[in-house]
Amino acid sequence: MVRIITDSAADFEPHELTEKNIICTPMRINFGDEEYIENINLNKTEFYTLLQESDVFPKTAQPSPFDVEQAMEEAKAAGDEAVFITLSSALSGTYQSVCLMKNNVEFDNCYVIDGLTATGGQRILVEHAVKLRDEGKSASEIAEAVMEIRDRVEIFACIDTLEYLYKGGRISHTAYTVGSFVNIKPMITVSREGRVEVPAKALSMRKGIKNICAHMEKIKPDTSFPVYTMYSHDRKNSDILAESIRSMGYDVPEENLINIGGTIGAHVGVGACGAIYIAQK
């Protein structure tokens, strides 16, 4: 048997993890002295409530070594193989920690993959691994197939507010003040190296959504994989985006609108929306 393991930055809901038989090592989120474990004692609604009401900006941390070790030890003891897909190493130390733990546990049949992506992009990689597992593929075959599509993950999103980029130290007070005054909506993407980049700016969320659709026209989705739209707490912008993508001829069922969890949500704030898909070769 092959066990598929990931971290909670992939933004699966708890019931989805159960239904798809995915093992998830949760990220930690700290509001001051209070530590929360994603999807254990802090769900997405609770996170965004804290984000908006707390005077303290949250700090995120990788899964505990104990959780990672336990997942690997259980798989090894059962005689199973494993594929562990992590949040981008450019955004977190999770990948490096998982590799270290694999060596400590001496689990040679565990294939650790740096997802070089986050949220729905990571989710697509994990779901592809699940599909191949259910088809009876070996861990090495699954890892190879996931690596093949990893460089085709497209994330293109629009942030509705500059507040959390400012609070998190990503932009200066001047940039925050001026940008907020003229209603700038940053467009963000994740590079092939797994880094968050701001390739453009829009002057309204409506124009931002148009930019996302234009990006999809330029870099077209591979329709053998799902197209997701993502949102952070408030899904009204994602609903508009999903309808726009459907008008382009792509299938975006209701279940493909996914809420961004705290690991990424801490930086994008409420009201962001974006498209995530696998690009055509």
* Final residue of a structural domain among 150, 185, 214: 150
Residue type, 173: H
- Model confidence pLDDT, tens digit, residues 48-62: 999 999 988 899 999
- Model confidence pLDDT, tens digit, residues 209-268: 999 999 999 999 999 999 999 999 999 999 999 999 999 999 999 999 999 999 999 888
181: which 2 tokens?
A: 């005054």
70: which 2 tokens?
A: 């336990």
Rounded to 10 degrees, the C-alpha dihedral 91/220/139/76 comes to 30
Q: Say if strands 185-190 and 257-259 run parallel, antiparallel, or are unpaired.
A: unpaired
Question: 267-279 burial, b for 16+ CB within 10 Å, e for fewer?
Answer: bbbbbbbbbbbbb
Please report the DSSP string for 111-147 in residue order: EEEE-S--HHHHHHHHHHHHHHHHTT--HHHHHHHHH
Report in angstroms the alpha-carbon separations of 123 from 88, 92, 118, 225.
Answer: 12, 16, 8, 12
pLDDT < 70 positions in the chain: 164-182
Residues 163 and 96 in one domain: no
Instruction: Count CB-CB contacts under 10 A for residue 139.
Output: 23
Does residue 54 lie within any of the structural domains? no
Question: What's the confidence (pLDDT) of residue 55?
Answer: 87
Residues 111 and 189 in one domain: no
Question: What's the confidence (pLDDT) of residue 199?
Answer: 86
Question: What's the confidence (pLDDT) of residue 197?
Answer: 86
Residues 116 and 133 in one domain: yes
Does residue 247 lie within any of the structural domains? yes
pTM for this predicted structure: 0.94
* Final residue of a structural domain among 104, 122, 150: 150
Residues 111 and 126 in one domain: yes
176: which 2 tokens?
A: 């925050």
Q: Which of 156, 159, 199, 207 is nearest to 179 (CA)?
A: 159
Does residue 46 lie within any of the structural domains? no
143 close to 111: Cβ distance less than 8 angstroms: yes
Range of the structural domain that residue 72 is part of: 2-26+63-150
Question: What's the confidence (pLDDT) of residue 163?
Answer: 72
Question: What's the confidence (pLDDT) of residue 267?
Answer: 85
Does residue 41 lie within any of the structural domains? no
Question: What's the confidence (pLDDT) of residue 173?
Answer: 60
Question: What's the confidence (pLDDT) of residue 274?
Answer: 97
Residues 178 and 71 in one domain: no
Does residue 230 lie within any of the structural domains? yes
Alpha helices in the chain (DSSP H): 14-20, 44-53, 65-77, 94-105, 119-134, 139-150, 163-167, 173-181, 205-218, 236-247, 262-268
Q: Say if strands 196-202 and 185-190 run parallel, antiparallel, or are unpaired.
A: antiparallel
Residue type, 120: G
Rounded to 10 degrees, the C-alpha dihedral 131/135/138/140 comes to -40
Cα distance from N-terminal residue to C-terminal residue, the chain: 31
**CA-to-CA distance for 5 and 86, rounded, in angstroms?**
8
Residues 107 and 146 in one domain: yes
* Final residue of a structural domain among 90, 115, 150: 150
Angle (CA) 12-234-158 rounded to 5° is: 85
Mean pLDDT of the chain: 93
